[in-house]
Amino acid sequence: MEKILIIDDNPVDVRILKDILKDRYEVISSLESAEGIHKARLNRPEVVLLDSTMPKISGKEVLFVLKNIKDLKGIPVILTSAQVDPDTEEKWLSLGAVDYFIKPFSPGIIKTRVGTHVDLSLLKKAIERLELIDSLTLLPNRRSYDEKIKSEWARAIREKNPISIGFIDIDNFTSYNDHYGRSKGDDVLRLIASEMSHTMSRKTDFIARYSPEKIVVILPNTAAKGAKIVYERIKSAVQNLKIPHAYSDAADIVSVSIGGATIEPNYGNDMCAFVESADKMLFEAKAYGRDMIVSDED
């Protein structure tokens, strides 16, 4: 059930809005601005209904905060007020509000217009998710990886934990496509991506399609020894598929080469250099004959 957050210091108005919306939505409310912002961060509602005349922290200030928090700025905010004029309406809309309700509330208007903004919010989220997914493998795509590595790198520094990254390359995959056909190659990619995903044992582990033939895994809070175990699990999963590949110089079945790196970063380390070190390990694995793992644990 979609969530609606009401931020209004008037308990009567809150109760009226809840009664109007409760049959269709999970309605959360706050009588204080600061608490309302906290509940927005905690619950990630589809729509926020915000009273324009909140005490202490004004409605305008609440709207400004919501629109300047990365994870919240996309949430539609509807202002509520006892009175409105064209200049006031224009001001609120220019600040980022998507709509404006005048008190006393009309149940039909509230239901219809809130429903419209919820539907638009859900559609926007669906489009954003698609933009972060590789259409062939259904893994997160390169854009998603770029965002993830930055956030996990920052978290590793903040929490003083190790982070590991591994690049996986399908051996002689160009030859596979050339001899078996690109359609068959796409089937192999989908199958391998699915098997690799199943080897990720923790919710914090991240796997993405980095390039046409390369997959990347990010393993937060994972030392080199633990990362090596994950790489071996991935390699075995691909081997166990036993997909014939008569045109590979590494094996008679589809195999992978893996390069991995681990670091416990601090503010003096360079993230790009860390990623490049994993890519260098992959290059070495391919140079040594493919179908192998080269990592910090070796």
Query: What is the structure's pLDDT at 144?
Result: 93
Q: Residue 90: what pLDDT?
A: 78
User: Which residues have CB under 8 Å from 107's CB, separation 6+?
Assistant: 20
In the chain, what is the greatest distance between 2 CA atoms, to the nearest angstrom?
76
Selecting among 26, 32, 213, 284, the annotated active-site residue is 213
| pLDDT tens sequence across 203-262 | 899 999 999 889 999 999 999 999 999 999 999 999 999 999 998 998 999 999 999 999
Q: Indicate whether 124 pLDDT > 90.
A: no
- Distant-in-sequence, close-in-space partners of 238: CB < 8 Å, separation ≥ 6: 192, 195, 196, 254, 255, 256
What percent of the chain lies above the pLDDT cut of 90? Answer: 79
Radius of gyration of the chain (CA): 26
Domain-located, residue 136: no
Domain shared by 122 and 177, yes or no: no
- Within 67-102, residue ranges assigned H as helices are 86-95
Q: How many residues does the chain have?
A: 298
- H/E stretch holding 259 reads strand 256-263
**Res. 60: pLDDT tops 90:** no
277 with 158, same domain: the answer is yes
Which two three-digit tokens encode residue 288?
């040594």
Q: Is residue 137 in a domain?
A: no
Is 32 catalytic? The answer is no
Please indicate, yes or no, whether residues 190 and 249 belong to a single structural domain of this protein.
Answer: yes
The pairing of strands 293-294 and 256-263 is parallel
Same domain, 196 and 239: yes
Name residues whose C-beta falls within 8 Å of residue 167's C-beta, 6 or more positions apart in sequence: 210, 214, 215, 216, 258, 259, 260, 278, 279, 281, 282
Residue 201, in any domain of the structure: yes
Structure tokens at 205: 């582990």
pLDDT over 90 at 91, yes or no:
no
pLDDT band at 83 (very low <50, low <70, confident <90, very high): confident
Of the candidate ranges 75-89, 117-131, 184-198, the one whose mean pLDDT is the lowest: 75-89
CATH code, 226: 3.30.70.270
Backbone angles phi, psi at 297, to 5 degrees: -80, -15
CATH code of 28's domain:
3.40.50.2300
Gap between the Cα atoms of 78 and 90, Å rounded: 13
The domain total for the chain is 2
The amino acid that residue 156 corresponds to is: A
Choose one of 85, 102, 131: the last residue of a domain: 131
Q: How far apart are CA 235 and CA 258, in angstroms?
A: 8
Together in a domain, 22 and 82: yes
pLDDT at 84: 67
The whole-angstrom separation of Cα 139 and Cα 211 is: 12
pTM value is 0.69
Give 133's strand partners: 140
Residues 120 and 88 occupy one common structural domain = yes
Domain span at residue 72 reads: 3-131
Residue 61: CB partners within 8 Å, gap ≥ 6? 33
pLDDT band at 81 (very low <50, low <70, confident <90, very high): confident
What single letter denotes the amino acid at residue 242?
K
pLDDT of residue 297: 67
Is the same domain home to 211 and 276? yes
- The answer to the question of residue 288 being in a domain is yes
Cα→Cα distances 243→117, 168, 181, 247, Å: 48, 17, 14, 12
DSSP SS3 for 205 = coil
Average pLDDT on 149-177 reads 96
Q: Are residues 173 and 252 in the same domain?
A: yes
Domain boundary among 66, 100, 131: 131
| Domain finish residue from 86, 104, 131 | 131
| Residue 54 lies inside a defined structural domain of this protein | yes
The answer to the question of residue 157 being in a domain is: yes
- 204 with 232, same domain: the answer is yes
Residue 20 near residue 110 (C-beta atoms within 8 A):
yes
Shared-domain flag, residues 83 and 11 = yes
123 and 149 together in one domain:
no
223 and 195 in a common domain: yes
Is residue 52's pLDDT more than 70? yes
172 inside domain? yes
User: Is the confidence at residue 126, as pLDDT, over 90?
Assistant: no
Quote the CA–CA distance of 49 and 97 in Å, as a whole number: 10
Residue 121 lies in a domain: yes
